[in-house]
Amino acid sequence: MNPSTEIENGLPLDMIIFGGMGDLAMRKLLPALYMAFLHGNLPATTRIVSTGRQDFDREAYLAHVEENSRSFITQSAFNDKTWDGFLKLLEYVRLDVQAAPDFGGLAQVSRPGAQRVFYLSTAPALFTIICDKLAAAGLVDGNARVVLEKPLGHDLPSAIEINEAVGKHFAESQIYRIDHYLGKETVQNLMVLRFGNSILEPLWRAPNISSVQITVAEELGVGSRAGFYDGTGAMRDMLQNHLLQLLCIVAMEPPTSLNADAVRDEKLKVLRSLRRFTLADIARDTVRGQYTHGVSGNQEVEGYLEERNVPEDSKTETFVALRTYIDTWRWSKVPFYLRTGKRMQRRSSKIVVEFANPPFPLFPDAPGGVANRLVIELQPEEAIKLQIMAKQPGSGMQMQQVTLNLDLQSAFQQRRAEAYERLLIDVVRGRLTHFMRRDELEAAWAWADPIINGWTTLGEKPHPYPAGSWGPAESFALLARDGHAWVE
Ligand code: NAP
């Protein structure tokens, strides 16, 4: 274990998790905090206070963590001594957020004058009551920070309501709206690639870039989340947040500094420049899909409508693809194709930047298709590849596509932290750059709402696609009519 470092303000750290018994806490938050502890990124003064309604004492909570969280730590990173040290940081407070007196119990455990980080890993319907009661219990001071998990609303009015409620007690600079895609090494690296080099920037615009694709494909179905998912759908669950955030990083102008607001100002400009969809645009440029029975990972799987807790006549989309434009000088007429879905052929998230083909075909035997692509792979592995044309060895001038692989794994032998670990450390250190600001979130909803409402107005039913495929045929047609194709 590395020596622990203090946080900049020198205060002891109280990390207080609401929903501390929940799935996210067990699978992601506690393992991420363990990794941060292992690598000396938590101050020695850290205390992690989990809250939940179960009438547990500390020992029972630790047993629950042993049973439900430990297995989510990479085996090679696990060691008993560090784990024991980590468990010593943990406290449990029984707390029902509806009960004001329970917050008195929390106030007794949290140290006066500590740097408090409240992680709200509960349904967003509880955010208002949690913030109100924290403030009433005197737990919110000028140093406190609050982390908000998605979903941050289901439309613009509900997002505003959450922002208003949290903003009553926390200044914007104290609010960390998490989107774990922004914590991925490769996404952060895309900013360095774009703004730390000069070779890409002159090309990074129309007409040199002919299109951009962003895909977030999941192999899994809705599983146990069906109850929640059916009222949400792929547009709200994935596209409005994760895919738009990726689009912002691809499309933003160079910020004036790395200051959080300078970066977020540029992302906001992108969101505000996204072309608004008319009903005709929605009918032509969006595709909704819903998976049916099929084969996924060599196993027969049920269709969405057969999943438990899904109404048999549900019209919720488990897939969405769309074409959009950013109305700025840089991106004029460049289509951005976004696609996300469940039960796709495999788990794969990537950004594909396609460059314009050479204006004149000098080499008669050139293979068809796109000559140059920058492919940024985010899942399952993180990688950056540039596809270029090269001459095949031998006589003649035959061309072939080859891939320049930016081998970051070999270039940097260091461990690459998981997104949640990196973002939690950012919260502890007070770094807001990779978190969404209120106006960004609201601009994203302002763009997404008319599309979602338009589907209702048009009475659009999702197109069926077999589980284990890449989505409905209409999604391929969306690109084909522009002479493009999805890169799998
Ligand atoms: P979960 O397993 O259902 O956990 C929710 C937690 O909320 C439970 O631990 C529950 O505590 C607590 N809770 C509910 N009512 C409460 C009350 N009245 N007082 C105190 N605590 C209360 O949900 P989750 O999967 O961890 O997700 C939490 C949030 O993160 C959700 O908004 C979800 O959409 C979001 N999220 C989850 C994931 C994920 O991978 N799971 C990913 C991204 C975002 P007790 O039942 O113990 O009292």
- Cβ atoms < 10 Å from Cβ of 140: 20
Tell me: do 100 and 205 sit in the same domain: no
The answer to whether residue 22 is domain-embedded is yes
Query: Pairing relation of β-strands 319-324 and 463-466?
Result: unpaired
- How much distance in Å is there from the Cα of 197 to the middle of ligand 1? 42
474-483 pLDDT, tens per residue?
Answer: 999 999 999 9
Say if residue 10's pLDDT is above 90. Answer: no
Active-site residue list: 242
Residue 184 neighbours by CB under 8 Å, 6+ apart: 378, 382, 419
Predicted local distance difference test score (pLDDT) of residue 297 = 84
Tell me: do 409 and 332 sit in the same domain: yes
- Cβ atoms < 10 Å from Cβ of 312: 6
- How much distance in Å is there from the Cα of 407 to the middle of ligand 1? 38
- Ligand 1 contact, 21 CB (< 6 A): yes
What is the best residue among 98, 121, 133, 228 to mutate for testing ligand 1's pocket, by most ligand atoms within 8 Å of CB? 121
Tell me: do 208 and 141 sit in the same domain: no
Phi, psi of 454 (to 5 degrees): -65, -35
Residue that terminates a domain, selected from 105, 129, 149: 149
Report d(CA 278, CA 286) in Å as an integer: 11
- How much distance in Å is there from the Cα of 123 to the middle of ligand 1? 6
133-180 pLDDT, tens per residue?
Answer: 999 999 999 999 999 999 899 999 999 999 999 999 999 999 999 999
Q: Which residues of 48-60 are buried (b: 16+ CB within 10 A; e: fewer)?
A: bbbbbeeebeeee
Say if residue 43's pLDDT is above 80. Answer: yes
* Average pLDDT of span 346-365: 91
Tell me: do 51 and 192 sit in the same domain: no
The answer to whether residue 401 is domain-embedded is yes
DSSP code, position 149: P
DSSP 215-247: EEE-SS--GGGHHHHTTTHHIIIIIIIIIHHHH
Nearest CA to ligand 1 atom 38: 24
Tell me: do 233 and 350 sit in the same domain: yes
Atom of ligand 1 nearest to the CA of 98: 18
- How much distance in Å is there from the Cα of 51 to the middle of ligand 1? 11
DSSP 289-323: EEEESEEETTEEE--GGGSTT--TT----SEEEEE
The answer to whether residue 425 is domain-embedded is no
274-297 pLDDT, tens per residue?
Answer: 999 999 999 999 999 999 999 998
Tell me: do 236 and 127 sit in the same domain: no
Atom of ligand 1 nearest to the CA of 53: 48
Tell me: do 267 and 186 sit in the same domain: yes
Predicted local distance difference test score (pLDDT) of residue 360 = 87
Predicted local distance difference test score (pLDDT) of residue 235 = 98
pLDDT grade for 2, boundaries at 50, 70 and 90: very low
The answer to whether residue 420 is domain-embedded is no
Q: Are 343 and 467 in contact (CB under 8 A)?
A: yes
- Ligand 1 contact, 224 CB (< 6 A): no
- Ligand 1 contact, 462 CB (< 6 A): no
Number of domains in the chain: 2
Atom of ligand 1 nearest to the CA of 97: 19
Say if residue 254's pLDDT is above 80. Answer: yes
Residues paired with 466 in a beta bridge: 292
- How much distance in Å is there from the Cα of 150 to the middle of ligand 1? 11
Positive or negative, the Cα torsion across 284, 287, 292, 296?
A: positive
Domain CATH code at residue 123 = 3.40.50.720
Tell me: do 241 and 191 sit in the same domain: yes
Tell me: do 75 and 190 sit in the same domain: no
Report d(CA 198, CA 111) in Å as an integer: 49
The answer to whether residue 164 is domain-embedded is no
Question: Rounded mean pLDDT of the chain?
Answer: 94
- Ligand 1 contact, 122 CB (< 6 A): yes
* Average pLDDT of span 27-56: 96
Residues paired with 446 in a beta bridge: none
The answer to whether residue 165 is domain-embedded is no
Query: What is the distance, to the nearest Å, from the Cα of residue 164 to the centroid of all Cα atoms in its chain?
Result: 23
Predicted local distance difference test score (pLDDT) of residue 1 = 45
Report d(CA 482, CA 339) in Å as an integer: 16
Say if residue 198's pLDDT is above 70. Answer: yes
* Average pLDDT of span 48-73: 95
Q: Are 292 and 304 in contact (CB under 8 A)?
A: yes
- Ligand 1 contact, 97 CB (< 6 A): yes
Between the two ends of the chain, the Cα-to-Cα distance in Å is 41
Q: Quick one: which H or E segment has residue 445? A: helix 438-458
Residue 211 burial (10 A CB sphere; 0-12, 13-18, 19+): buried
Predicted local distance difference test score (pLDDT) of residue 5 = 62
Phi, psi of 145 (to 5 degrees): -130, 150
Nearest CA to 184 out of 26, 351, 367 is that of 351
Query: How many CA atoms are closer than 13 Å to the CA of 240, on its beta-carbon side?
Result: 26
DSSP code, position 275: P
Q: Are 319 and 471 in contact (CB under 8 A)?
A: yes
Q: 3-class SS at 49?
A: strand
- Ligand 1 contact, 12 CB (< 6 A): no
Residues paired with 119 in a beta bridge: 17, 147
- Ligand 1 contact, 278 CB (< 6 A): no
And the tokens for 45?
């003064």
Tell me: do 137 and 226 sit in the same domain: no
Predicted local distance difference test score (pLDDT) of residue 330 = 98
Predicted local distance difference test score (pLDDT) of residue 362 = 86
Is the full-model pTM beyond 0.85?
Answer: yes
Q: 3-class SS at 8?
A: coil
Tell me: do 189 and 117 sit in the same domain: no
The answer to whether residue 265 is domain-embedded is yes
Report d(CA 285, CA 307) in Å as an integer: 29
- Ligand 1 contact, 50 CB (< 6 A): no
The answer to whether residue 139 is domain-embedded is yes
Determine the structural domain holding residue 36 and report its residue range.
13-149
Residue 421 neighbours by CB under 8 Å, 6+ apart: 32, 33, 35, 36, 41, 183
Atom of ligand 1 nearest to the CA of 28: 40
Predicted local distance difference test score (pLDDT) of residue 414 = 83
Domain CATH code at residue 382 = 3.30.360.10
And the tokens for 62?
């630790």
pLDDT grade for 3, boundaries at 50, 70 and 90: very low
Tell me: do 137 and 188 sit in the same domain: no
Predicted local distance difference test score (pLDDT) of residue 4 = 52
Predicted local distance difference test score (pLDDT) of residue 78 = 93
